Structures are given as C-alpha cells and as structure tokens.
Amino acid sequence: MIQVIQILILGIALGGVYALMSSGMTLIFGVMRIVNLAHSAFIVLAAYLAFFVFKTFNIDPIVSMAFTMPVMFLVGVIYYRLLFASRADNPRFADITVLVTFATALVIEGILAFIFTGIYRSTTPTYAKTSINFGPFFIPQSQLYALIISIVLIVGLWMFMRYTRIGNAIRATMQNRNAAQVVGVNVTWISTLSFGIGLAMAGAAGSLLSFVFTFYPAKHIAWIGMIMCLVVLGGMGSLVGALVSSFLLATAAAYVNFYFGAAWSPITFYLSLFLILLFRPQGLFGKKVEG
C-alpha cells in the first residue's frame, strides 16, 4: 500500500512538469491552429540555455528562469512573425505548419548537437540530489520544486487568460478567429503574443527539466511524442485538458513503470493516444474542430 501511494506521489510530481510542457503547445494550437512540433525542441533549447548559464555563471536554473523565459518569449515572437504571420489564411496552413515546425526542430537539434555535442547533460544545483522524507514517503526535492513552480505558472497563465482584457482577447481568438476580428481584436497581434507566451512556458519547462531529467539534443523526439499524446488526450487547445491529462498519464506511466518495467512506460502514452483517437477523436475536453 505504501508503495502504491509512493508511486502516486512520484507520478503527480512529474505530472506538474508535463503539464507545463504541454500548456504552451496547447495554447499555440488553440490560438493559431499550429501544431508546434518544435515545442519540445524549444524546451530542449531552453534547457541548454539554463545549462549554459549554470555552467558559466553558476546561476541556479530556477533563478535563471527570469532570463530563459523572456529570451524564449522573444524567440517565439520573432519565429512567428518571420514564418507564419503572413500565411495564416492559407488553406493548407495546418499541413505546412506541422512540417515547418518539425523542420525547425531538426534545425535546432542539429545546431545544439554541433555546439554542445550529444553528451547527456543536466544542471546540478544542490537540491538536485536530495529528497524530502515525510513518514514512510519521499519526494525528490528537485521534483517538488518543479511541481510547485509549474503549478504556479499554469495557474498564473489561467488567471491571465480568465481575468485580463488581453487574456479574454486570446480566448476569443481561440473560440472563433473571424468573429474575434470582427469585434475588434487584432488577431495578428494576439497570435504573436500567444506564440511568445507559449514559448515562454516552454522556456520555463526547459529550465525545470534541466535539473529533473538528463537531456541531449535528440531528446526532443521522445518528448514531443509525449507532449503530443498529452495535448491530444486533453483535447487540442484546452488548457484544462492538458493539465488533467498530464496528471492522469504521468501517474499511469509511473504505475506501468513500476509493474511492467521502465521500457513500457512511454508505450502508455502512445497507446492512450490511439485509444482516444478511436473513441473520442476530439479528446477529453476538446470541442469538435476541423483540422
């Protein structure tokens, strides 16, 4: 019994980071209908940024989020402006963006591999190796911090979307792009901003991952598979869906990991993706949309 609860704790701890990873992707899809396959590559990029700052200036990855998040925000704004802004009306937009973002992921992977080589990296602040015990249970300190920060950021994003004018404009654009434009929302500006926010979330996720997991340039492929499963399961574009499916699948994967072996836990993700496609293609919280 103790073991079952312990696995639940570890699953939930990881779920927070997963939710942060998928929140940016689901936001970007919701607003612009872009399936950002480069999302995990941007996360890895941010992890390398945190790693670089940690190695050269010895700045804690949590502190350096104040640097990685704005940088990734800017990267997002420039990337969207440069490649997608003028093509939002193209009927083949969905197909093109999927392939363009995947190609971007390849470019990022190649450049990172060229600069940092393929060696497994991670940042090692003092809390990375210690655990907190309470009674018979334990939680790695790094995962606890990551969980707390993830939840703070996601709640912050949710409140921003809910209670600010700009947040309302973003949600209006998600619901109906044309109608939002008619009532005076500058959808191009909103899209650019959303892409920036999405990548800022990726930046935060990268900073946190840098001390929770080890990473290498090609790691983004495994992560994008996982994030896609989370986003599709939750319903593309649904922030709440991404949150729920993250905790759901993280705990499920933790149990599979314990009872069947580590190799089978990624399969939990992919199988759940196919099951949801089979029975509810729009996802748990998604609305039926074309594309």
Which residues of this protein are in contact with other proteins, per CB under 8 A? 29, 33, 35, 37, 83, 87, 92, 94-100, 102-107, 109-111, 113-114, 217, 221-222, 224-225, 228-229, 232, 236, 263-264, 266-267, 270-271, 273-274, 277-278, 281, 290-291
Q: How far is the CB of 228 from other proteins (least distance, A)?
A: 5
Nearer to other proteins, 149 or 228 (CB): 228
Q: Which structure tokens are listed for 94? A: 């969905």
Taking the least distance from each CB to other proteins, the nearer of 104 and 238 is: 104
CA angle 67, 16, 217 (to 5 degrees): 55
Cβ distance to other proteins smaller for residue 125 or 234? 234
Minimum distance from CB of 77 to other proteins (Å)?
A: 18
Smallest separation (angstroms) from other proteins to the CB of 42? 14
Task: Report the nearest approach of other proteins to the CB of residue 91 (Å).
Answer: 9
What letter represents residue 47's amino acid?
A: A
Exposure on the CB side of residue 22, measured as CA atoms within 13 A: 31
Q: How far apart are CA 154 and CA 24, in angstroms?
A: 10
Residue closer to other proteins by CB (options 146, 249) is: 249
Burial class of residue 243 (count of CB atoms within 10 Å of its CB; 0-12, 13-18, 19+): buried
In sequence order, the 6+-apart residues with CB closer than 8 A to the CB of 65 are 50, 149, 203, 204, 207, 208
Smaller CB distance to other proteins: residue 136 or 281? 281
Shortest gap between Cβ of 124 and other proteins (angstroms)? 25
Cα distances from 127 to residues 67, 71, 135, 268, 270, in angstroms, run 20, 25, 20, 30, 32
